[in-house]
């Protein structure tokens, strides 16, 4: 049963609030303001909308301005989920807000909380603002090195230059305007593609490489440098990424440990697709926490190209 919380329910409200916080912790760099939040919830009882669903659910909503309401908290204990409790809580919140003249309801949800986002979007909530975050030290380091060059090239494992040229000119118009494209003659079993659009946008470089691998039905290498500091490559086979490498996996920001490991070169795959010596792959295509721990990016780029037998 959904009912308004009273001062006699403060112990239950506190318990449910702490259970919510335990499941959805704040970002590690934020101060712990849980006690302040709890004081605000206690103050909201009897004044704002604080609803209980028996002893398993809690919803808190406050009025901000004449037309806006904010859903500060919606929580249902795990044992009671899947039974429509959250839906009934939010329905009653909406009814009470409407009675107070509120015609818009906002809420905040962590980007990583995919389950909650899916539920809210099913109820009609849509993003109107995006909060981004990055460690300050990483931002300063990244901006200090952002003046370096960004460029890349694509290498198709074939001797059929004409076929590659035709596929490139079919694919590029779908990806954006390109002022200059060069498809080189076959060398060492590879046809090289250089394009100014791919130089400007590493995402386009990857998209074109993937499509050429799919249409060509074989191995394609996308190899480049970003911001003069990060060396990246992707090896595709029949349109599927078989191996991805980034010299500094967390160059753009922190990653889950598994993603960091996945961005290290796989010598076995590289050897199978390019004929490179696995021992040399391990020696050259190393990863690090900072560009300073590796050879200069242009030098490392050239070493990887030589390792795989392509011209850059």
SS3 content of the chain, % helix, strand, coil (to 5): 45, 20, 35
Q: How far is CA 266 from CA 166, 244, 246, 283, 286, in A?
A: 31, 8, 12, 12, 10
Q: Does any domain span residue 90?
A: yes
Q: Does any domain span residue 133?
A: no
> In terms of residues, how long is the chain?
312
Tens digit of pLDDT at every position of the chain (312 positions): 899 998 888 889 889 988 888 887 554 545 555 567 677 777 778 788 999 999 999 999 998 888 999 999 999 999 999 999 999 999 999 999 999 999 999 999 887 788 888 899 999 999 888 888 778 877 776 666 556 899 999 999 999 999 999 999 888 888 776 678 999 988 999 999 999 989 989 999 999 999 999 998 999 999 999 999 999 999 999 999 999 999 999 998 889 999 999 999 999 999 999 999 999 999 999 999 999 899 999 999 999 999 999 998
In this structure, the answer to whether residues 155 and 110 fall within a common structural domain is no
Please tell me the distance from the alpha carbon of residue 25 to that of residue 10, in angstroms, as a whole number: 22
In this structure, the answer to whether residues 164 and 272 fall within a common structural domain is yes
In this structure, the answer to whether residues 108 and 220 fall within a common structural domain is no
Query: Which CATH number is 32's domain given?
Result: 3.40.630.30
Q: Does any domain span residue 178?
A: yes
Q: Does any domain span residue 165?
A: yes
In this structure, the answer to whether residues 109 and 192 fall within a common structural domain is no
Q: Does any domain span residue 137?
A: no
Q: Does any domain span residue 132?
A: no
Structural domain containing residue 56: 2-122
**Number of domains the chain is built from:** 2
Q: Does any domain span residue 54?
A: yes
């Amino acid at each position: 049963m959904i009912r308004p919380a009273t001062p006699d329910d403060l112990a239950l409200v506190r318990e449910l609030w702490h259970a919510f916080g335990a499941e959805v912790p704040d970002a590690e760099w934020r101060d712990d303001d849980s006690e302040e939040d709890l004081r605000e919830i206690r103050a909201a009882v009897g004044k704002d909308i604080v609803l209980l669903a028996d002893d398993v659910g809690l919803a808190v909503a406050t009025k901000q301005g004449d037309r806006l309401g904010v859903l500060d908290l919606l929580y249902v204990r795990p044992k009671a989920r899947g039974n429509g409790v959250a839906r009934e809580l939010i329905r009653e919140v909406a009814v009470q807000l409407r009675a107070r003249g509120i015609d818009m309801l906002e809420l905040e949800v962590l980007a990583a909380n995919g389950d909650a986002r899916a539920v809210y979007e099913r109820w009609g909530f849509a993003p109107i603002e995006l909060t981004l975050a990055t460690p300050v030290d990483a931002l300063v380091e990244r901006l200090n090195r952002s003046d370096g060059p960004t460029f890349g090239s694509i290498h198709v494992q074939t001797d059929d230059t004409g076929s590659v040229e035709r596929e490139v000119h079919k694919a590029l118009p779908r990806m954006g305007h390109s002022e200059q494209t060069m498809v080189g003659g076959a060398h060492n079993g590879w046809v090289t593609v250089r394009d100014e659009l791919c130089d400007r946008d590493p995402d386009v470089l990857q998209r074109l490489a993937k499509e050429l691998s799919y249409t060509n039905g074989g191995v394609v290498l996308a190899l480049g440098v970003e911001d003069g500091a990060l060396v990246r490559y992707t090896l595709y086979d029949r349109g599927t990424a078989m191996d991805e490498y980034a010299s500094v996996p967390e160059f753009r920001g922190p990653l889950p440990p598994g993603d960091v490991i996945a961005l290290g070169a796989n010598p076995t795959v590289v050897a199978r697709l390019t004929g490179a010596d696995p021992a040399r792959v391990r020696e050259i295509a190393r990863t690090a926490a900072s560009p300073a721990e590796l050879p200069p990016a242009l030098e490392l780029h050239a070493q990887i190209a030589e390792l795989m037998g392509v011209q850059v």
